Amino acid sequence: MGFAFVNNSRINGITSLNSKMGHFNFFSVHHFNITDVTITAPGDSPNTDGLKLGFCSNINITKTHIGTGDDCVAILSGTTNMDISNVNCGPGHGISVGSLGKNKEEKDVNGLTVRDIVFNGTSDGIRIKTWESSASKILVSKFVYENIQMINVGNPINIDQKYCPHPPCEKKGESHVQIQDLKLKNIYGTSTKKVAVNLQCSKSFPCKKVELIDINLEHKGVEGGSFM
């Protein structure tokens, strides 16, 4: 289901089951509420993003369950002022910003709040991904992640500014995407990998003003370990 150039609208109380590709796509949508939606697809089904949004603003997503073979929520270029709360994500690839920087004419992404979320059995939880060799110089800023539970998540917190989904990727320098004003607070649970927090920022445009507060992630595996 796709929404393009839609304003002041909402979807409520519906289910999307086993979509062949992305379940809900939004382009240039503004002032839109998504409530009590269920999105379901097998964990091994490719490209079945739950909610994918580009060039959108003032989006509210709440009381929603998403389990897919790709991103539960994918936030793309030009999306601003978005609030995601009380969402269960899993299986899937987490709540992702990006990928960003690959194409020219991309726009800034700012004003994201993600709170009261449960990630269960996902490959990633909090994820920001930008291409190493950027075609555009944009700003990713004013993000807040708060009160988030991770249950057996592969990469609970993952900032990847060397994103390369199908290596080898052509390398022409560091990412030109600037990440700044990022706050992560009260994030807890279990990680299936020993590295629970990965901050791989750009050497040319290092991450700025990143706060990690009350992070308690324990490795659930033979060797143990934790990040607190």
* Catalytic residue numbers, as ranges: 93
Q: Which of 8, 13, 145 is nearest to 73 (CA)?
A: 145
Sequence-distant (≥ 6) Cβ neighbours of residue 206 within 8 angstroms: none
Determine the residue type at 156: P
- Cα separation, 96 vs 140, in Å, equals 13
Sequence-distant (≥ 6) Cβ neighbours of residue 161 within 8 angstroms: 129, 130, 132, 174, 175, 177, 179, 200, 201, 202
**C-alpha dihedral (191, 139, 86, 228), degrees to nearest 10:** 30
- Cα separation, 156 vs 197, in Å, equals 7
Tokens of 10: 């909402």
Provide DSSP, 26-61.
EES-EEEEEES-EEE--TT-TT--SEEEES-EEEEE
